[in-house]
Each structure stands twice: as structure tokens, then as C-alpha cells.
Amino acid sequence: MDEMYGENRMDQLRKLFFMRIENHTLVADAGEAAIPVLNSPNKGSTITPKHLVIHYTAGRSAQSSVDWFMKPGSDASAHVVIGMDGKITQVVPFNKKAFHAGESKWNGLTGLNSHSIGIELDNPGLMTKTGTKWFAWFGKEYPSSVVIEAKHKNENVVRGWHIFSEKQIEACVNVSKLLMSHYQLGDIVGHDDIAPFRKTDPGPAFPMESFKSKVLGRRDDAPTTYTVNTENTNLRAGPGMEFSILAQLKKGTKVELMQTQLNWYNVLVVTRVTGLNEPEGWVHKNLLTKD
Ligand SMILES: [Zn+2]
């Protein structure tokens, strides 16, 4: 994680948008839409948060998740829920224990509820394919346009995952920047990092690497560039040989790293490639050399 922290980290974190934290709750800046702040009964004692944990809800809607977190006795909550539309709802004050992590471990700590802030992103999660149709665990059908097929980093099989919306990621970046700065948090982790044998959220549809670099503000935001080291390198639509070939890249082509998944790098092609409209895709890491 440390390499993500540039020397100007704190300067970067100070560039925040549209909200602030007062008395451990989010407050919208003047002229911005108010942020609903609820007070869930599903919370514990006072904590000093050290890390940030990202989740998906595996739920039907942001509202249904908020309702569940507000229901007495559900024993489930998170500090914040973010809808697909980017709407933020706070459910538990940031200095109180929320019930989002369960049995978990990170960096010498166990039981991360006592040591972290949890953000839940509205998302139905893992999708199951029946014929040509995709279904969530609760039976609702979703169009294939909102599903990506990918391997979870803790698994070895390609499965379907509901995508996150750009508005949702942007809202999550903004809240996370504020939290990292205000509470001087250490790491940003997924539930699947702190409970890898039980949990798959936020999963491969969540762009963890680019998310982290946006939140942590890498020094000067300079992308990490790589050079294609092999003639006719395949640029693929996804992180694996099973994904279609978008283009063949010449040796010497420059790319910028956006995120990684196992041995595959999601890159932006910097060198102009004839016939390629959206110069973004996945390349096996052995075919790239770091500049
Ligand atoms: Zn979770």
C-alpha cells in the first residue's frame, strides 16, 4: 500500500468536493443536496477507525439496504450506503462500530468492525446465467449490458457480476477521500480482502486499483506507463484468453496502467492505434515492460 502514498498525499486529500464531516456525520456544502443522516440501532460502542472497507450490498436497491440496516435486530449496518444514482445515505456515525465486516482480519487486526469504516455500494452482486438470461440471487433478471464476466481474484472461475455506475464510484471516491483525510485512515480494502474465505464483495466489477489511486491521489496523478515488448500483442476485452481480441499492438506501443487482475493489466493505449475507437483493454502482464 505504501507506494500509493505520494509525498503530497495530504495535499491531494484536501481537494475535496461538496461535503465535509462534522461531529462524525457527513454534511453537504451550501448549495448541495442534503445528505440524509439516519441513526441505525444496529451499532456498537465508540471506535477509532483505522481502515476503510468497501462492500456491495447484494441487495435489490439502496433503499432496501438502508431499510435493512435501520431495522432493529437485523444486526447489519454500515456507515454509509451509496446508490447507483450516487446518492449517499449515512446510517451510523463514523465514530461508532457498524456491523459490516463480521469475522475478518487485516494487517494484524481482527474483527474489523471495531477498526474500520464500512461503505456499502448498492449492487445486486453475483449474477447467475440461465440460458441467455442473468439473474440475481433474489430472482430478478438483469440485462447482459450491466453484467461483466470475470474471475474474482480469490477464485479460479469466470462468473457474472453486476457493474457499478460511474456516479456511484464518483460519490464513493469523494466520501472516501474525505474519510481518509479526516480520520487519517491507513488502507482501503474490500470485504473480500479482510474475509477472503467468506466474502466476494466488492468483487471484480469494482475497479479497486483505479479507485484507490483516485482516492489516494498518486503524486501528480502520473499514470504508470508500460511499453509493449512483443510484436502483435493482443489487446483483449477482458482479463483472460477467453475474451475477444480488440486489436493487436505493435512492439513499442505505450500504454498506461489503470488496474490489474491477477496476471492481466487493464490499460489505456497511449500510442495511436489505427482502427481502434476506444483504446482500452487488457494485456497479459508478461507482454508489458514497465517504463
Ligand atoms: Zn461486505
Query: Hey, where are the domains in the chain?
Result: 2-126+161-220, 223-290
Using 50, 70 and 90 to split pLDDT, how confident is the model at 260? confident
Mean pLDDT score, 233-248: 90
Ligand 1 centroid, distance to 280 Cα (angstroms): 29
What pLDDT sits at residue 277? 57
In three-state secondary structure terms, 136 is coil
Please give the distance, rounded to the nearest whole angstrom, from the Cα atom of residue 39 to the centre of ligand 1: 20
Bridging pattern class, strands 188-190 and 51-56: parallel
Is 120 catalytic? The answer is yes
C-alpha cell at 212: 484507490
| Closest by Cα among 285, 274, 284 to 234 | 284
Q: How far apart are CA 133 and CA 141, in angstroms?
A: 7
Bridge partner residues of 190 (DSSP) = 54
CA 44-98-32 angle, to 5 degrees, is 125
Cα distances (Å, whole numbers) of residue 220 to 78, 100, 187, 188, 217: 32, 34, 20, 20, 8
CA of 144 to the centre of ligand 1 (A): 24
Which ranges constitute the DSSP H helices of the chain? 9-14, 62-70, 166-183, 191-194, 208-216
How much distance in Å is there from the Cα of 68 to the middle of ligand 1?
14
Amino acid of residue 168: Q
Confidence of residue 39 (pLDDT cuts 50, 70, 90): very high
pLDDT higher at 273 or 219: 273
- 149 pLDDT above the threshold of 50: yes
Question: Confidence band (pLDDT; 50, 70, 90) for 219?
Answer: very low
Percent of the chain surpassing pLDDT 90: 74
pLDDT at 76: 98
Catalytic residue among 3, 32, 120, 231: 120
| pLDDT, tens digit, 9 for 90 and up, residues 42-88 | 999 999 999 999 999 999 999 999 999 999 999 999 999 999 999 99
Across the chain, what does the average pLDDT equal?
Answer: 89
pLDDT at 274: 66
CATH code, 2-126+161-220: 3.40.80.10
Q: What's the CA-to-centroid distance between 191 and ligand 1, angstroms?
A: 5
In the prediction, which pLDDT does 1 show? 34
Q: Please check the confidence at residue 2 and state whether its pLDDT lies above 80.
A: no
pTM above 0.75, yes or no: no
pLDDT given for residue 270 in this prediction: 78
pLDDT category at 153 given cuts 50, 70, 90 is very high
CATH of domain 223-290: 2.30.30.40
For ligand 1, the distance from its centroid to the CA atom of residue 98, given in whole angstroms, is 12
**Please, is 242 exposed, middle or buried when counting C-beta atoms within 10 Å of its C-beta (0-12, 13-18, 19+)?**
exposed
Quick check: helix, strand or coil at residue 12? Answer: helix
